């Protein structure tokens, strides 16, 4: 499931168990996901999924749903 795969990356970036990440996680509403955590997450997503996320797009990926949609649109998830 794509949500579980993204949550696994988020868990590494935020140093929390994946089970603590809500399905509706949004930057600023999930405490580990602040501006610094966001950059760590973006770098981890690029590394794990082998994608290059343009800096302007990074600032649009503000929720778990946004990230999943972006990865699907860019062929990471079929």
pLDDT, tens digit (0-9, with 9 covering 90-100), for 12-65: 999 999 999 999 999 999 999 999 999 999 999 999 999 999 999 999 999 999
Could you state, in order of their start, the residue ranges of all structural domains in the chain?
2-73
Residue 15: predicted pLDDT:
96
Looking at domain 2-73, its CATH architecture is Orthogonal Bundle (1.10)
Quote the DSSP letter at residue 76.
Answer: S
Pull the structure tokens for residue 50.
């082998």
């Amino acid at each position: 499931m794509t949500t579980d795969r993204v949550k696994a990356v988020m868990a590494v970036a935020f140093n929390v168990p994946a089970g603590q990440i809500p399905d509706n996680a949004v930057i600023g509403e999930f405490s580990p996901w602040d501006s610094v955590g966001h950059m760590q997450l973006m770098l981890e997503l690029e590394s794990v999924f082998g994608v290059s996320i343009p800096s302007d797009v990074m600032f649009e990926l503000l929720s778990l749903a946004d990230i999943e949609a972006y990865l699907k649109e860019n062929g990471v998830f079929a």
